[in-house]
Amino acid sequence: MTIGESHSPETRTFPLTLTVNGREVTLDVEPHVLLLDLLRDRLGLKGAKRSCDLQVCGACTVLVNGLAVSACTYLAYEARGAEVLTIEGLADGEKLHPIQQAFIDGAAFQCGYCTPGMILAAKALLDEIAQPTVDEIKEYMKGNICRCTGYKKIVESIQAAAGQAWARG
């Protein structure tokens, strides 16, 4: 190679098979592709949002094999063979999931940017702890940030989804 010549390595891809919202998909992806980009750009699932790119805000939260992950730092390759659930796959057709309905009934969101990640993190929590305390909810949800509102209605909505009495005070 001489000065001024550019060297462009051949783009390498690999087949990736995973199940997204109950549907098996196989795509050719580059090794550096993030799960968030695969979901949004390749599969058109826009519910998970890009915000911090540092795994601290929760806007990109999806479930991989039932665990809440930050899709902005999670390589798509790591999801090979996994079950991935996004907000688009949570409802049963037109029937909202109880957590989604609780967030609506409890007015637990304003702009909605963080809401998909909040709801999926809440699902992971309730799958793990069916009747969490307020402190358990706050601890579990601390990785999901809402910039529009306080967290009281979010906590109350998670309690409602769990079938608990609404918190007082």
Count CB atoms within 10 A of the CB of residue 21: 17
Q: What pLDDT does residue 1 have?
A: 43
Edge to edge, the sheet with strand 67-70 lists 23-29, 14-20, 83-85, 61-64, 67-70
Question: Are 146 and 115 in a shared domain?
Answer: yes
- Asked if pLDDT for residue 157 goes beyond 80, the answer is yes
Counting the structural domains of the chain, the total is 2
List the CATH number of the domain containing 118: 1.10.150.120
When the pLDDT of each residue in the chain is averaged and rounded to a whole number, the result is 91
Query: ∠70-74-75 over CA atoms, to 5°?
Result: 160
Q: What pLDDT does residue 37 have?
A: 98
Q: Which of 89, 116, 132 is the last residue of a domain?
A: 89
Q: Which of 70, 89, 108 is the last residue of a domain?
A: 89
- 49 within 8 A of 145, measured Cβ to Cβ: no
Q: Is residue 169 part of a domain?
A: no
Question: Are 83 and 114 in a shared domain?
Answer: no
Q: How do residues 32-68 score in pLDDT, each as one tens digit?
A: 999 999 999 999 999 999 999 988 899 999 999 999 9
List the CATH number of the domain containing 47: 3.10.20.30
Question: Are 103 and 83 in a shared domain?
Answer: no
Q: Is residue 5 part of a domain?
A: no
Q: Which of 89, 109, 131 is the last residue of a domain?
A: 89
Question: Are 82 and 104 in a shared domain?
Answer: no
Lowest mean pLDDT among 1-5, 45-49, 76-80, 153-157: 1-5
Question: Are 32 and 66 in a shared domain?
Answer: yes
Domain span at residue 23 reads: 14-89
pLDDT-based confidence at 109, cuts 50/70/90? confident
115-128 helix and 98-105 helix, angle to the nearest 10 degrees: 120
Tokens of 65: 């094999």
Bridge-partner residues for 26, per DSSP? Answer: 17
Q: Is residue 60 part of a domain?
A: yes
- 3 within 8 A of 17, measured Cβ to Cβ: no
- For residues 77-92, give the mean pLDDT: 97
Question: Are 71 and 102 in a shared domain?
Answer: no
